[in-house]
Chains A and B, each alone.
Chain A
């Protein structure tokens, strides 16, 4: 074969591929050649000379990490000449090294130390002049000790080729050379994003995580491979544990999603697990113990109790409510933070024992419009492609309403690399100047709430120029003519007027889209959190069908899911309209299947969404709420209204790890555990199911959420059979709640959720990960959906018109507020505000405002502002920046003292019932 070269290494003949270096070929065949500057994830540098090998018929020794293979090479990796050369290089390297290995953090985890040991180099041969650089401890995450730097430039390359910010360079030369950040400032003042990729690759103790300092030697740590609990990207991480504490976090090198790298939250944001706010014992309101009644709005004093007391009361109250007011008087909020197994149990608790479909979770608030929209267009509501094929094969990216580098950072990094390394085209449509715009080919800065007009306008131009994929439309879709008729009404003049995007930019964007196939569409909350959320999603589905970008690598519809397991929570039936694996509750067939399995009658009535349940509590329709690891006081729109509703609800159980903002409105607090204290599975944004492994014993008396649910359920079952309520046939195959391990729950899921049929723990434990549908235990999973055929048969074009947002600015509230998140925080801030470093680097809420408006309002420099909507008012510091357009303000909902959700309103999309977080009218004033 022409692409193979036979080479001989240390007498062993191997088949290498052309284009490989000697080092790569040797690695592939398990032959050890030592390295320092080379790292498998980075382009070779050839700087350290440790990998020198002897090649027959070559005059000098050659670096294996850069020397390409060719037919017939005969290589010696450990000849006397080679060893002498390596020793010499090492002697030089350590001649100016501090050699304080006794107290160095890197001891036992240092390539330089390992090599010195391997080659018996002591540092006695050359006693060089030594450096005395000051140690940079400017930032909360990484300590920089240049005295230990060997200038291998791994960090420089990681920052450029993994992250993409290029914050590190080498300054000066020779003995005076050192690594520096930004324009040679401290790390804190440089463009660094603290992803820690440089720490991951540094072979010595020069770059070290602050949190790990003094916490233990490598051989004292237990290391457990698991999945990050922050976002839906699903990076695998390794928790380093000592004495039941997480002391450090590293990446997992062969992880399918992140290949060893993470963002700042995944690596440096896990100390929340040990925060003093953790709930360590169950708590009840005193009135419950005394058998009394709640009086007024308040709920009275808390008392700490033992588990049995708490669980008995929870079971009794739930049963009372169910039997007195009917099954639908109970609402359950399941959790996108919890495992698949736990979500499955919550769904079973609701449907089997309580007998209601009133189950929902925060997916309602983020991607319910995606799930509903894509299900209608294609028959499946999930991300169609994989992170890998999209980031490696898309010729163009269309990122709309996704601040990817801050919200899904590791995917953001990969998009930056696609642009930098293979010239991929990047079109960003966003009302804000988000960081990704720096890498974009085009930025379409459309006004908030004008996505449909923008998309119709682009498709109008595509059609006018004949850039559509006619064969695809013909063979695989329906509804094209009606769609076309609507799109015809969106010529550039009109679209430009609605959206504020110049016509030339519309033309350029359409041309790039039409002429670069495959193009991947990526979106997030900027598309979904509108009263037109579902229609926005239809438009994106239209675009991808029009261009024939469905069912192919590098294309697809790619909604980026928010929470670590929001995909799984939806898959497991944590929604009011579907059982696990999206089997509709309205279907007689499905109802029959689950009635048989669980031994109880099933309701075929669609339940309430979270945005309906909470108001229903105030109206008295919902009498009891069971909330598992959700924080509606932070995450739901119109906080003041949510408070009134929760105050009105008769009985609220909250199962969480902290005393959250919602806790004051609960009657019972059940202490659950963090991801580090339990076993289970998470499903990431690309439908990949990964194993979450327990690294810590539960703290205090806290218990894994699945165990708590089992305790509650078993108590309900025991009492249930003796009262007149529902009867449950415990002989039915899956009626019982006697799980000993999350694995047992997964067995039940395998049987009842067809897309998870082949998700077996034995496979996961072997290191397999796969994307659903996984049809049976031999099925490899499904990286790309809709190949050759849509889940619903034909793809459905939807004719949709521009509809303005529900609340537009007027004279009283003249500005538009948009909300979202920032890199250093997460969701309602429940976790990230309790991670020391994250809080240190972004300690308070900031409201973004354009310099023009700032001037008009008389805000000089950083001043406090009051932002007021019809529903409430917050005060925060202004960040004057052109990230936002004039007339617009942007606030986040991470901090309770000034949460954007005090201002937002609960105008809902009619189909998905998602609130319009992205647009509401406000006024802004300077605070004196």
Chain B
């Protein structure tokens, strides 16, 4: 009898394996895509899958602004306050306009769970500034009336 069986039960260890840490960001993206935001449960699951502590996962998730630790609205409205948008008079007026219309501050979600307002850096649409993004859709050359139309349309959709 010869011991030929491969060593398979070796426990994966968090710090031992740098790759786990490297995979964390990707895993968090995927989890956020699936759940809409990173709930305690989502964080727990990522930690289990990567064999990291919940603390490590939450620490990373809370460091990056792109990860959401609060429930998000159905429509994430991201208003650019990058330099180009700022210079053409976008940014502030547009943010304030939307904030007033929806009755929420940047970072907040409407009580019906429909809209979340966010302020972001350059959306890579400087040529057609000011720019606004709703979920994955980009809207360029924004004006107040374009915003009215957009919000109206989204209100009606389900």
Contacts and interface: CB of A to CB of B under 8 A. Distances in A.
Interface of A: 160, 166-173, 180-184, 190-191, 419-421, 423, 438-442, 461, 464-465, 491-492, 504-505, 507-508, 510-512
Contact of B55 (A167, A421, A461): A167
A166 B53 CA distance: 7
Contact of B54 (A183, A438, A441): A183
Given A170-B59, A511-B3, 8 more contacts: A160-B15, A169-B53, A173-B63, A184-B55, A420-B15, A441-B10, A465-B3, A508-B9
Contacts of B5: 504, 507-508
Contacts of A191: 53
B2 A173 contact: no
A511 B4 CA distance: 9
A461 B3 contact: yes
Given A419-B13, A440-B11, A183 B3 contact: no
B14 interface: yes
Given A181-B55, A183-B58, A492 B13 contact: no
A439 B12 CA distance: 9
B106 to A, nearest CB: 15
A419 B14 CA distance: 11
A574 B38 CA distance: 62
Nearest to A420: B15
Contacts of A181: 55
B3 to A, nearest CB: 4
Interface of B: 1-3, 5, 7, 9-11, 13-16, 40, 43-44, 53-56, 58-59, 62-63, 65
B62 A172 contact: yes
29 contacts: A160-B15, A166-B14, A169-B53, A169-B56, A169-B58, A169-B59, A171-B58, A171-B62, A180-B55, A180-B59, A182-B55, A183-B40, A183-B54, A184-B55, A184-B58, A190-B55, A419-B13, A419-B16, A420-B15, A441-B9, A441-B10, A441-B11, A442-B9, A464-B2, A465-B2, A465-B3, A507-B5, A508-B3, A508-B9
Contacts of B65: 173
B62 A511 contact: no
A512 B5 CA distance: 12
A505 B3 contact: no
Contacts of A173: 62-63, 65
Contacts of B63: 170, 172-173
Interface centre among B7, B55, B62 (most CB of A within 10 A): B55
Contacts of B10: 441-442
A171 B7 contact: no
B120 to A, nearest CB: 16
A171 B2 contact: no
Contacts of B9: 441-442, 505, 508
A882 B15 CA distance: 26
A429 B102 CA distance: 62
A511 B15 CA distance: 25
Contact of A464 (B1, B7, B40, B62): B1
B31 to A, nearest CB: 15
Nearest to B55: A169
A190 B58 CA distance: 14
A492 B62 contact: no
A510 B5 CA distance: 12
B13 A512 contact: no
A423 B62 contact: no
A465 B15 CA distance: 33
Nearest to B4: A507
Interface centre among A182, A184, A504, A505 (most CB of B within 10 A): A184
9 closest cross-chain pairs (CB), A and B: A169-B59, A169-B55, A183-B54, A507-B3, A172-B62, A171-B62, A420-B15, A511-B3, A173-B63
Contacts of B53: 166, 169, 182, 191
A263 B112 CA distance: 51
A406 B10 CA distance: 23
Contacts of A170: 59, 63
A419 B2 CA distance: 28
A505 B54 CA distance: 30
B108 to A, nearest CB: 16
A439 B62 contact: no
A490 to B, nearest CB: 12
A395 to B, nearest CB: 14
A183 B42 CA distance: 12
A458 to B, nearest CB: 11
Contacts of A172: 62-63
A172 B11 CA distance: 30
B62 A183 contact: no
A173 B66 CA distance: 12
Contacts of B15: 160, 420-421
A495 to B, nearest CB: 12
Contacts of B14: 166, 420
Contacts of A442: 9-10
A492 B1 CA distance: 10
Contacts of A439: 11, 13
A181 B16 CA distance: 22
A423 B18 CA distance: 12
Contacts of A182: 53-55
